[in-house]
Amino acid sequence: MKTQLVPKKIVIIGGGFAGVNLAQELLKNNNYDITLVDRHNYNYFPPLLYQVATSFLEPSNISYPFRKLFRNKSLRFRMAELQKVDTQNKVAYLSNGSIEYDYLVFASGAKSNFFGNENVQKYAIPMKTIDDALKMRNTLLNTLEKATLVTDAEEKRKLLTIVIAGGGPTGVEVAGMLAELRKRVIRREYPELAGSPSQIYIVDGGPNLLAPMSEKTHAAARKILTDLGVIVKSGIQVRDYDGSVITLSTGETIEAKTLIWTAGITANTFEGIPETSLGIGKRMVTDEHNKVTGLDDIYAIGDSSVQITDPLYPKGHPQLAQVAIQQGRTLAKNFTAMATGKALVPFKYFDKGDMAIIGRNKAVVDLFKNKLHFGGFLALFMWLFVHLISLVNYRNKFRTLISWATAYISRDRSLRMIFRLKD
């Protein structure tokens, strides 16, 4: 009689790009018993959070419940937060119990990095989760309503001034979207604000916006935003914020009631993972197979991982969606190889390029390590296509396409409602 092998238990912490792609690929392999753990009951698409925050997309356009995504699949889902890991006994302690594992995979992503500034953390609006996006949407709309009632010119100016810290893709796209809203929507829907001064700033510590991209893109992004009326401040950092006054590294101050924080991220950390296994940005240092150094049977992928073995990326791969997706799929192949006694494949990142959309008709795209640059309508089409195909299922793709088409034709979206949850 043939002995039935007991499947090894793989526990995946985090259901973002990395975790979901790992889980989907592992479902093709019956050598493993898979459990996915996430503090939310849904997967969501972070690159489009700002469109939820600026009322262009509904949260349901960019999110999908895990249990429906993996319906009729041999995967267990557990809604919980990881609190600590017992690496000796192979037990993960969650907010609602514990779970044993044979292999533990961290795909737990990152959170906003406020660089130890407690005031900024208290008063600024981050852009990392659906909750953040909805908070930003409500805050912006509430602020506009307050501005319609204020008679003091200085106070109205503060309410209508927005500062965005961080000139990466999220910061640039938020700035462009807000500028479009100011130009096409606010002037029509808020007649009380006609003639009132409003300013949008984008502040970045580096010399250029969209720093990893090409010089052509740096120039194009600055010109597009400037043409939209956005004030760009490069080589400057936000040092403090008390909810009303932003202090910059130059000593200059900006009076504003809204600070949107997109200036940096840091990996989530957990008790039980030693400091010696952490590298830049608190990311877990891994080998070429995404195994965490110094620990047995523990892996990290996506924003949780920093892999310094690739000579092309000696400081680790960029914290982008494509890295997370590719690492998740590669690790799944290696788990299959481990189960069948085959050689493991080292992770090699295939850079598909960088892109950003700035306003209604403007986008910038760099391909082949910034050797090929696109702008204008072609870049816009490429951006739309890449983001559509990256959504988790066909329902999301279809609904988002319809929403974009409606917004493009009408130059508007009718999602500017303020919803409040009472305790």
**Ordered domains of the chain (ranges, CATH):** 8-39+80-112+266-340 (3.50.50.60), 118-263 (3.50.50.100)
**Coil, helix or strand for 289?**
coil
Does the structure show a pLDDT above 80 at 165? yes
Residue 404 confidence (pLDDT): 73
Residue 391 confidence (pLDDT): 80
Tokens 């990466």: give the residue: 168
- 307-319: per-residue pLDDT in tens? 988 888 988 999 9
Residue 35 confidence (pLDDT): 97
Residue 410 confidence (pLDDT): 61
Which of the four pLDDT bands, split at 50, 70 and 90, describes residue 2? very low
Q: For residues 209-232, give the mean pLDDT.
A: 92
Which of the four pLDDT bands, split at 50, 70 and 90, describes residue 180? confident
Residue 410's identity, in one-letter code, is S
Say what the alpha-carbon torsion angle 121, 123, 128, 134 is, to the nearest 10 degrees. 160
Residue 351 confidence (pLDDT): 85
- 33-53: per-residue pLDDT in tens? 999 999 999 999 998 899 899
Does the structure show a pLDDT above 50 at 422? yes
As a whole-number percent, the residues of the chain with pLDDT over 70 amount to 94
Residue 376 confidence (pLDDT): 77
**Coil, helix or strand for 43?**
strand
Q: For residues 333-360, give the mean pLDDT.
A: 90
Residue 1 confidence (pLDDT): 33
Does the structure show a pLDDT above 90 at 161? yes
CA distances from 309 to 288, 291, 362, 402 (A): 6, 12, 37, 43
Q: Which helix (H) or strand (E) holds 180?
A: helix 169-181
Report if pTM > 0.85.
Answer: yes
To the nearest 10 degrees (0 to 180), the angle between helices 169-181 and 215-227 is 20
The backbone torsions φ and ψ at residue 348, rounded to the nearest 5 degrees and listed phi first, read: -130, 120
Residue 99's identity, in one-letter code, is I
Residue 360 confidence (pLDDT): 66
Which of the four pLDDT bands, split at 50, 70 and 90, describes residue 373? confident
Beta strand segments in 122-208, E: 125-126, 161-165, 199-204
Residue 419 confidence (pLDDT): 63
